Amino acid sequence: MGWEIDQNRFFCNTVDEHLGPRLDPRVFVVATEEQQYVYSAFSDFLASRFRSSQGDPRLCDDDRLRKLTAEFEKRWLSGEISHNPADRNSKKKSRYHPRGTVLSKEIADDFLRDRDWWNLFRFKSIDDEAAETLQKYDGEGLYLTGVTQLSDAAAQSLSKFDGLALELNNLKELSASAASGLAKFRWDLFLDGLRNLTPAAAENLGKFRGYSLSLNGLRSLPDDIAASLGKLGRRRSQPTVNLNGIRTLTDVAAESLSRLRPNLELGGLRNLSVAAAFRLEEHKLIKSLTDADAKTCSDALRKFDEYNLNLSSLRSLPASIAQAIATFKGGGISLRGLKTLSPLAAKNLAKYKGNSIEFEDLNRLSPVAAENLCEFQGELNLDPDNFSEEVATIFEQNEK
């Protein structure tokens, strides 16, 4: 959860249903010194409330959150909580190290005492002793977004942190030993700053034990790296793997990553072969299918166990592909991008045994093709007004 202040009123600007209230400086507006102070004051206020045996912040419901916010507003507006950063800094002077870039044990000790998240963000490296200290933090997440260098020993220590998130999104390199250490973290691990992985580091990340692994900074994925990460799919409790920076994959890499479905995020993909798209169930990337793809399509659909098949990017449908698609065992097929169907393609498609076939752009059919399509026993989702009067009449007469 992030919080903002506007005209002396505090409000939540995000909702995190899984973690409950979280003051996150990546969301909270901290553009000015005053806003930074407000954020820190509110962070301390919430932390003090939950430390005083009033529950776990991750389990805080909306009503409790509203009451806490109202209490802070009242104290802030009444002046009970000072508006002067100097007052706060004078009491906690040891926390501020404006010239340093190394997170030392002293700073880590201060952080455990005062829980000032904002104060951790600017450090570019972390001492081994500091990492060992931070593993004892009892908050929900460690956000070390400034850290660009991490020793093997520090990685081992941070992996023992028992919170829900460990963020190291500014790391540019990861040694095999550090990857081995971080792979032991049990929850959400963020390594979005990495642009590439060595084979040894990837092999060790393939043993990740946590809930989710985020590698959104990777722009390409060689076959050997994909094979290592694909091993995560063999785990009984399979993690979510985020690879949203990847633009394209080879067929071999796609085959390796297919073991991670459905817990695989590939939102950045722009180009895949037909075979790779079917393996990864990224059907929306299939722009065209030819007769040569019929066997690949048929083989892939025998293994596809989702309820719906979305092929809305197709603009044409050869009869052989229509025949292959008709073997799909799920409940619905979406062909919203199709403009036309041949009589044979329509007849083949009508053999589909599912519940519905959805069209949106279909507007050119011969009367024979329309008659053939009406043989489908399920629901045809299309607009008769898109067609000639003769074809529209056929659909209306056969409406189920």
Q: To which H or E segment does residue 177 belong?
A: helix 176-182
Give the pLDDT confidence score for residue 239 in this predicted structure: 87
Quote the crossing angle between the two packed helices 33-51 and 62-78, to the nearest 10°: 120
Residues 6+ apart with CB under 8 A from 377: 353
| Listed residues 65, 91, 117: the one ending a domain | 91
Q: Rounded to an integer, what distance in angstroms lies between the CA atom of residue 316 and that of residue 186?
A: 47
Q: Which tokens is 355 given?
A: 């519940």
Give the pLDDT confidence score for residue 356 in this predicted structure: 92
Q: Which tokens is 226 given?
A: 């994909």
Give the pLDDT confidence score for residue 105 in this predicted structure: 84
What's the domain count of the chain? 2
Give the pLDDT confidence score for residue 320 in this predicted structure: 92
Give the pLDDT confidence score for residue 57 in this predicted structure: 47
In angstroms, the Cα distances linking 3 to 6, 142, 215 are: 10, 18, 27
| Listed residues 74, 91, 108: the one ending a domain | 91
Q: Rounded to an integer, what distance in angstroms lies between the CA atom of residue 166 and that of residue 140?
A: 9
pTM across the whole model:
0.62
Within a domain: 26: yes
Within a domain: 302: yes
Give the pLDDT confidence score for residue 100 in this predicted structure: 57
* Contact criterion met (CB below 8 Å) for 194 and 174: yes
Selection from 312, 323, 329 nearest residue 346 by Cα: 323
Within a domain: 216: no
Within a domain: 344: yes
Residues 6+ apart with CB under 8 A from 64: 55
CATH of the domain at 299: 3.80.10.10
What is the chain's pLDDT, residue by residue, as a tens digit (400 residues)? 444 444 444 444 444 333 333 444 444 444 455 656 666 676 666 665 554 334 444 445 566 666 777 777 777 777 666 666 555 544 444 444 444 578 888 888 877 776 555 557 778 888 899 888 888 887 778 888 888 888 999 999 999 988 888 888 888 889 999 999 999 998 899 998 889 899 999 999 999 988 889 999 888 889 999 999 988 877 777 888 888 888 888 888 888 888 887 788 888 887 777 777 777 767 667 777 888 888 888 887 877 777 888 888 888 899 999 998 898 888 899 998 898 999 999 999 999 998 999 998 898 899 999 999 999 999 998 888 888 889 888 888 877 6
HSE-CB at 291 with a 13 A cutoff on CA atoms is: 2
Sign of the CA dihedral with 311 first, then 314, 315, and 318 last: negative
* Contact criterion met (CB below 8 Å) for 244 and 267: yes
In angstroms, the Cα distances linking 205 to 12, 94, 177 are: 35, 37, 10
Within a domain: 177: no
Q: Any idea what DSSP says for residue 248?
A: B
DSSP-based three-state secondary structure for 156: helix
Can you give the residue range of the structural domain that contains 367? Answer: 286-400
Give the pLDDT confidence score for residue 201 in this predicted structure: 93
Within a domain: 162: no
| Listed residues 91, 118, 142: the one ending a domain | 91
| Residue type (1 letter), 347 | K
Looking up tokens 């008709």 gives 326
Selection from 118, 137, 121 nearest residue 40 by Cα: 118
Q: Rounded to an integer, what distance in angstroms lies between the CA atom of residue 298 and that of residue 279?
A: 12
Give the pLDDT confidence score for residue 210 in this predicted structure: 87
Give the pLDDT confidence score for residue 35 in this predicted structure: 59
Within a domain: 194: no
Within a domain: 365: yes
> Does a cis peptide bond (omega within 30 degrees of 0) precede residue 262?
yes
Q: Any idea what DSSP says for residue 32?
A: S
Give the pLDDT confidence score for residue 84 in this predicted structure: 63
